[in-house]
Structure formats: structure tokens, C-alpha cells
Amino acid sequence: MRLLILDRDGVINHDSPDFIKSPREWIPIPGSMQAIAEANQIGFRVVVVSNQSGISRGLFDINELNKIHSAMLGEVARFGGSIDALFFCPHGPSDGCNCRKPMPGLLLDLAQRIDVDWPSTFVIGDRRSDMLLADAVGAQKILVKTGHGEETIESTTDLSDTIVCDDLANAVDKLSIL
């Protein structure tokens, strides 16, 4: 089974400059729940890897983050899909940790838990940090235009080794023929 690593905010759900702080604020991007279910159906294990600096900023706590993730898992299950694991960095941008994307700490932790074939793994994100994370482990990159994707496209000089898609649903459609 192949592995699909997804960023959360801006890829699965709408992002917010004020952070997603509660399940009420977690709003799926249209088609994303179905896309995760489709990814499972075509043979992908799905893992979410996300920076959640709102914890270190005191905007929400781990219990609230767990409620947000429970809501997400419930919605995915409602569409017949599943997310195998959720990895997140609770640190702020200046904390100097190895787990905040684009640092590979979360993916290295994942690789200690399951056997990962990085060249056949896809990382889907909307930010440069997601693409750099993929580069750090040798995974394939998919940049979606949702969330911060359009800004990322405008500010990136070379996307020749990156698949660019409109959204998660479009990305999974492309994966079904790869």
C-alpha cells in the first residue's frame, strides 16, 4: 500500500489567518472528504502532517486540537474514508524544533512506526514548507491551489518537479492514473 501525506489547513479544510481553534471553525474544502475516501479506495494509506503553532501561542490546547481532529476523522468516515495517523508540531516558528515543517522530524517519526518507501510517497500541501518537507525525505510533491497555494505558486521560481492541482480532489484524481 502506498502512502499519501496531507497537510491539513488549506488542503483538507479551509485555512484561517486566525487559526482553526475549534471544531466549529473546522470547515472541509468541498470534495476533500470524498477525495480522502477515494485515495483509500485506490490503495493509499493517508496520514495528516500539520504545524499547529496555535498550541504554543495559547490559542487552543491539545484537548481542543483532539476535538478538531475527531470532527475531521468523523467526516472522513462518513464518506467511507479513513486517516491512518495524525502527526502535528505544537511548536512556534522560533522554537527551533525538528518537527515543524519544513523540518523532517514528523516524517522521520512516521518512518520509525511504519515502513515508508519515500520515492513512491506523495506529499500534498499548499505551502512552500510542505514542498520542502517532501524534498527533505525524497517524496513526490503535489501543490494544491487551495489555501495558500496560489501565493506559493506566485512566489516559487521552479515548480518543474512539482505536480500542481486545483485542489485535493483533483490531486487524487491524478494519483488514480499514476
Query: Which residues are catalytically annotated?
Result: 7, 9
Alpha-carbon distance of 149 to 78, in angstroms, equals 27
Which residue, 39, 56, 51, is CA-closest to 121? 39
Written as nine digits, the cell of 177 is 492514473
Provide the 3-class DSSP secondary structure of residue 13: strand
Written as nine digits, the cell of 116 is 515508508
Strand-strand pairing, 162-165 and 85-89? unpaired
Print burial letters for 52-66: b (CB count within 10 Å at least 16), e (below 16).
bbbbbeeebeeebbe
